Amino acid sequence: MSTRTIRQLVDDLDGSDAEETITFAVNGAVYEIDLSEPHAKEFYEFMDRYMENGRKLPKNSIHTPGRKASSLNGYRPSATPATAAATQLPTSYTRLGKEQNKAIRDWAKKQKQFEGLPERGRIPREVVEAFNAAHA
């Protein structure tokens, strides 16, 4: 016995037959909507102005405001009085080269206040600033 499954798209606005599924994101929330050709055209015409003036991001890079400490792969600077400023999460990052990242990570491994810095991912600003101050 065989089975045939038919997938039919239904326009989420009016219940008519849909032609395509559109995925879009707003404020970090990702949405998907099935639209008929006229509704899809209307959607794209409305969004054109915003897409033309916005910055296109690589796939899978939806920005979520308010990063939590878990986004640093478990790294938390020690909270001693000398490093109290380091307990705040960084608000901006600078792209560094591979060699510079390696030098900073190697240096940070030797510093007690930066124990637990992950092997991969962004290096928190306070670590980069401490490295630069130590090597100035």
For residue 83, is it within any domain? yes
For residue 124, is it within any domain? yes
pLDDT at 27: 84
For residue 3, is it within any domain? no
Q: Which of 43, 65, 87 is the last residue of a domain?
A: 65
Q: Which domain holds residue 123?
A: 69-134
Give yes or no: residues 52 and 87 share one domain: no
Structurally, the chain folds into a number of domains equal to 2
Q: Residue-wise over 35-54: b if at least 16 C-beta within 10 A, else e?
A: bbeebbeebeeeeeeeeeee
Is pLDDT above 90 for 76? Answer: no
What is the model's pTM? 0.42
For residue 31, is it within any domain? yes
Give yes or no: residues 103 and 56 share one domain: no
For residue 14, what is the domain's CATH number?
Answer: 3.30.60.230
For residue 1, is it within any domain? no
Give yes or no: residues 59 and 75 share one domain: no
Give yes or no: residues 44 and 74 share one domain: no
For residue 2, is it within any domain? no
For residue 116, is it within any domain? yes
Each residue's pLDDT tens digit, 4-27:
888 888 999 999 999 999 988 888
Is pLDDT above 80 for 60? Answer: no
Give yes or no: residues 73 and 60 share one domain: no
